[in-house]
Amino acid sequence: MCAVPKPECEEALDRLFEYIDHELPEDEIHRIGEHLKECPPCEAEHKINEKIKRLVNKTGHDVAPEDLRARILQTIRATRPDGA
Ligand SMILES: [Zn+2]
């Protein structure tokens, strides 16, 4: 299953970092939270990014350097057979 992302998905993924950082208004946090609950691919992406954020926090950086982020994503994706 590899459908074109829905507009809600694009929005959720677009705001994912702000969502994780709680930098969104209450209603958007709620909207995206609801979407994540009913959309497994987006929820998976959310989990991955939360994980990256935790790993990055451990290194003492606020933001993951782009190459570190890419490397983590690649590692995580490599373990997922569906490649979603
Ligand atoms: Zn989605």
pLDDT tens sequence across 18-52:
999 889 999 999 999 999 999 999 999 999 999 88
C-alpha 52/C-alpha 49 separation (Å) is 5
Residue 61 has pLDDT above 70, yes or no: no
**Is there a contact between 35 and 8 (Cβ–Cβ < 8 Å)?**
yes
Residue 81 has pLDDT above 70, yes or no: no
- As a residue count, the chain comes to 84
For the chain, what percent of residues have pLDDT higher than 70?
83
Please tell me the distance between residue 9's alpha carbon and the centre of ligand 1 in angstroms: 4
Listed in order, strand segments (DSSP E) in the chain are none
Instruction: Write down the pLDDT at residue 24.
Output: 94
**Displacement of CA 72 from its chain's centroid (Å):** 12
**Is there a contact between 19 and 11 (Cβ–Cβ < 8 Å)?**
no
The chain-wide mean pLDDT, for the chain, equals 83
> How is residue 29 written in tokens?
């946090």
Please tell me the distance between residue 34's alpha carbon and the centre of ligand 1 in angstroms: 10
Instruction: Write down the pLDDT at residue 73.
Output: 79
